[in-house]
Amino acid sequence: MSTPHRREPSTAPLERRPYRRLTLIAVVFAGGTAGTLCRAWLNGVVPSPQDLPLPTLAINLTGSFLLGLLLEVLLRTGPDRGGHRIVRLVLGTGFLGGFTTYSAFALEAIALAAAGASGFAAAYVAISLLGGVLLSFAGIGVGAAVARRRQGQPDATSEEDPP
């Protein structure tokens, strides 16, 4: 009978897991607080004609675009360490995580259907989901163009005169 191979414990110091670092947790918390406050403010400012959930729709679609933009720029400009990680956590996970809201989207869709506006509910769900995906890709495209410009590379959509 053979015994399973056991790895010897490493003598190298273990890197502390990022999700356990209090500074990173605080960064996400601060970003999330700001994003939630911004969403709450916009909910009070953006009109809701005929009780349609336009504020949540606008917030979620804007957040989808901004998250695609942010993550693409960060991906193209360096590894997810140091300042890049802080920016991703404070703006992506924190701010945009607090800014966008799946729970309000789900509750509003159910409320529309329960009120007899199943057509509006279906349209709201379709626009939210499809629009979110499309705007994420649009944000990725804009982020790629921004990163190329910052790195001095020509934009894929621009035409340069041949030499």
Mean pLDDT of 126-155: 90
Give the CA-trace dihedral at 73, 37, 99, 44, to 10 degrees: -120
pLDDT tens string 55-75? 999 999 999 999 999 999 999
Q: Tokens in use for 143?
A: 């982020």
What is the predicted pLDDT for the residue at 147?
A: 84
Residue 116 · residue 50 · CB < 8 Å: no
Share of the chain above pLDDT 70, in %: 82
Residue 86 · residue 21 · CB < 8 Å: no
What is the predicted pLDDT for the residue at 12?
A: 47
Higher pLDDT, 46 or 162: 46
What is the predicted pLDDT for the residue at 19?
A: 64
pTM, two decimal places: 0.79
Enumerate the known binding-site residues. 97, 100
Enumerate the known binding-site residues for Na(+). 97, 100
Cα–Cα distance, 135 to 94 (Å, whole number): 20
